[in-house]
Amino acid sequence: MLDNQPRGTICIEDIEMGMSRYLDKVVSDADIEMFAAVSTDRNPVHLDDDYARDTIFEGRIAHGMLTAGLISAVIGEQLPGHGSVYLGQTLKFLAPVRPGDRVHAEVKVIGIDVAKRRVQLDCHCSVGGKKVLVGEATVMAPSRKFD
């Protein structure tokens, strides 16, 4: 399930410091299985209850990059949105995401270079108000000059 703010494009000329967008998604078993299939990361900590129970996580967890992908979704669909080009991303994983967790993924503008069409974004994902992922992204935003 996704709860999204409006989708579309915010051009570099309209982006402001502090602007933010988010989405909320419940991570399902199917999401984890599909991510494993697409990424070819079939680590049993993601897929096998018996195996995962005996790890430091004491149960199955979602792939970290599946969680990070929700940041990409906010960037590509909302801020800046369609036409964005990802230039870089830092990530720090703070806690696991488990099947059934509702993840809140949010980005906030912390830097703008209009001449280069660059936007710096503070990024985080949280579950139940606890941050599970933090980082920063640099993206090239679309411009009305190139429409």
Bridge partners, 122 (sequence order): 108, 136
Q: Which residues contact 54 (CB under 8 A, 6 or more apart)?
A: none
Q: Look up the domain containing 56 and give its range.
A: 2-146
Q: Considering the entire predicted model, what is its pTM?
A: 0.92
Domain count, the chain: 1
Q: Write the CATH number for 120.
A: 3.10.129.10
How many H helices and E strands in the chain?
A: 4, 6
Site of tokens 């990070």: 68
- Read off the pLDDT of residues 50-89 as tens digits, 9 standing for 90 and up: 999 999 999 999 999 999 999 999 999 999 999 999 999 9
